[in-house]
C-alpha cells in the first residue's frame, strides 16, 4: 500500500496502471484525454440502473394522480418489476416512455428533480445514497489523471442531462464534459416574451452506445482519448479507439466478479445482442482487465 491508488491491491494490475501513468511525460498535455463510461465503471449499476430508478420514482408519483398510466405495457412492467416483460420491451423503449413523463419541463426544473433525487435516494440493496455508490478506486484514478493535467470526460449511455447534475459533485468532472444520450428541446417564449427551453419526449440523435460513443466523443469533446474505461460490450468501440491513436493508449475493463462486496455479472450490452464476450475481447486485445474481487482492496468510499 502506498499513497498512490491506495484502494488498488498491490499486484500486476496496479503495477501496469502506475507504469502507464508514469510513462506519459512525453505526451503533450492537450492530447491527455480520458473517457470513462458511467454505469458499472464509475458507480454501481445493479440491481438496476440508478437513472432508471430516478425515472421510476417519477412514474410512481405520476401514477398516483393518473392511474391510467398503469395500462401502458412499459409502465406496467416497470411498476411490477417484471424482469421478463422489461427484457421483451427493451431498455431503449422503456427509457423513451419514461422520458415522455417529463415532456415540457425546463432544464432548470429537470435539474431540481435530479438534485432532489440525489439528496434523498437510498440504494435498494446497498442501503446508501449516491455518494456511497461510487467506486473508490476509480475516484483515486481520476485524481491521478487530474494531477497529470488530463481532460477527463464521462461518456455514458444514460441521459446527458441527468449525469451532468451529478458528475461534478460525485466525480469532479464538469457538466460540459459529459457525453451521453441527448433529449430534444424546443425554444419557446412565455406570455411576456421571455425565451426559454422545454424538454421534448423524443431523443436527439442516436442512443450513446457502442460505436455512437466514439462518434459523440468527436462531436462533443473533439479530441481522441488515450485512456478509456468501461465494463460492457457497449464500451468496446470506445476502448478500441483509445488504443488506435498515435500516442500510447490504455483500455480498462472493469470486471464485476465480486458478489460479496458488489455484484457478479458479465458485462453484456443492453441495446443489442453481444458477439464475443467482452472479457474475451479484453484478453485478446490486451486491455487492462480489472477484477473487482482481486484488484480492489476497497470498493466503495
pLDDT at 29 over 50: yes
**What pLDDT score does 3 carry?**
86
Q: pTM (2 decimals)?
A: 0.95
pLDDT at 301 over 70: yes
**What pLDDT score does 95 carry?**
85
Instruction: Please give the full DSSP string across the chain, using - where no structure is assigned.
Output: --SSSTTBPTTHHHHHHHHHHHT-TTS-GGG-EEEE-SBTTTB---SS-HHHHHHHHHHHHHHHH-GGGGGSHHHHHHHTT-HHHHHHH-HHHHHHHHHGGGTT--HHHHHHHHHHHHHH---TTT---GGGGB-HHHHHHHHHHHHTT-EEEEEEEEEHHHHHHHHHHHHS--GGGEEEEEEEEEEEE-TT--EEEEEEEEEESS-S-THHHHHHHHHHT-S--SEEEESSGGGHHHHHHHHSSSS--EEEEEE-B-TTTS-B-----SSS--SS-HHHHHHHHT-EEEEHHHHBS-S--
Instruction: For residues 77-102, give the mean pLDDT.
Output: 91
Contacts of 298 (CB under 8 A, 6+ apart): 7, 136, 137
The more confidently predicted of residues 196 and 91 is 196
pLDDT at 54 over 50: yes
Instruction: For residues 136-161, give the mean pLDDT.
Output: 98
Of 3.40.50.1000, 3.40.50.1360, 3.30.230.10, 3.40.710.10, which CATH number belongs to 12-49+115-183+202-295?
A: 3.40.50.1000
CA dihedral 157→175→166→212, nearest 10 degrees, is: 0
Q: What mean pLDDT, rounded, does the chain reach?
A: 95
Q: Which residues pair with 33 in a beta bridge?
A: 151
Q: Which residue has the cell 461518456?
A: 155
pLDDT band at 1; cut points 50, 70, 90: very low
**What pLDDT score does 96 carry?**
87
Q: What is the pLDDT of residues 172-213, one digit of tens each?
A: 999 999 999 999 999 999 999 999 999 998 899 999 999 999
Q: Where are the domains of the chain?
A: 12-49+115-183+202-295
Q: What is the pLDDT of residues 225-283, one digit of tens each?
A: 999 999 999 999 999 999 999 999 999 999 999 999 999 999 876 555 568 999 999 99
Amino acid at each position: 500500500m502506498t499513497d498512490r491508488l491506495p484502494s488498488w491491491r498491490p499486484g500486476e494490475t496496479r503495477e501496469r496502471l502506475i507504469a502507464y501513468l508514469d510513462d506519459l511525460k512525453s505526451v503533450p498535455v492537450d492530447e491527455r484525454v480520458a473517457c470513462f463510461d458511467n454505469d458499472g465503471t464509475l458507480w454501481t449499476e445493479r440491481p438496476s440502473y440508478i437513472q432508471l430508478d430516478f425515472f421510476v420514482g417519477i412514474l410512481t408519483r405520476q401514477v398516483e394522480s393518473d392511474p391510467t398510466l398503469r395500462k401502458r405495457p412499459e409502465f406496467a412492467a416497470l411498476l411490477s418489476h417484471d424482469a421478463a416483460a422489461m427484457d421483451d420491451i427493451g431498455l431503449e423503449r422503456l427509457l423513451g416512455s419514461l422520458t415522455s413523463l417529463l415532456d415540457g419541463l425546463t432544464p432548470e426544473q429537470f435539474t431540481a428533480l435530479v438534485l432532489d433525487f440525489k439528496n434523498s435516494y437510498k440504494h435498494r440493496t446497498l442501503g446508501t445514497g449516491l455518494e456511497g455508490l461510487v467506486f473508490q478506486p476509480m475516484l483515486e484514478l481520476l485524481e491521478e489523471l487530474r494531477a497529470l493535467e488530463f481532460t477527463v470526460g464521462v461518456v455514458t449511455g444514460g441521459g446527458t442531462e441527468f449525469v451532468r447534475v451529478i458528475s461534478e459533485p460525485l466525480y469532479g468532472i464538469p457538466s460540459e464534459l459529459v457525453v451521453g444520450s441527448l433529449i430534444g428541446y424546443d425554444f419557446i417564449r412565455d406570455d411576456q416574451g421571455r425565451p426559454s427551453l422545454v424538454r421534448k419526449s423524443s431523443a436527439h440523435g442516436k442512443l450513446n452506445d457502442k460505436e455512437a460513443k466514439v462518434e459523440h466523443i468527436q462531436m462533443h469533446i473533439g479530441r481522441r482519448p488515450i485512456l478509456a474505461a468501461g465494463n460492457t460490450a457497449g464500451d468496446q468501440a470506445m476502448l478500441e479507439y483509445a488504443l488506435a491513436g498515435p500516442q500510447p493508449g490504455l483500455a480498462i475493463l472493469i470486471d464485476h466478479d465480486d458478489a460479496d462486496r458488489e455484484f457478479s455479472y458479465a458485462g453484456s450490452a443492453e441495446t443489442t445482442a453481444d458477439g464475443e464476450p467482452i472479457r474475451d475481447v479484453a484478453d485478446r486485445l490486451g486491455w487492462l482487465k480489472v477484477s473487482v474481487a482481486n484488484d480492489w482492496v476497497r470498493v466503495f468510499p
